[in-house]
A and B are shown apart, each in its own frame.
Chain A
Amino acid sequence: QKEVEQDPGPLSVPEGAIVSLNCTYSNSAFQYFMWYRQYSRKGPELLMYTYSSGNKEDGRFTAQVDKSSKYISLFIRDSQPSDSATYLCAPIKAAGNKLTFGGGTRVLVKP
Chain B
Amino acid sequence: QVQLVESGGGLVKPGGSLRLSCAASGFTFSDYHISWIRQAPGKGLEWVSYISGSGATFLYADSVMGRFTISRDNSKNSVYLQMKSLRVEDTAVYYCARGEYCSSNSCAGDYWGQGTLVTVSS
Determine if chain A interacts with chain B.
no
A contact residues vs B (CB 8 Å cutoff) = none
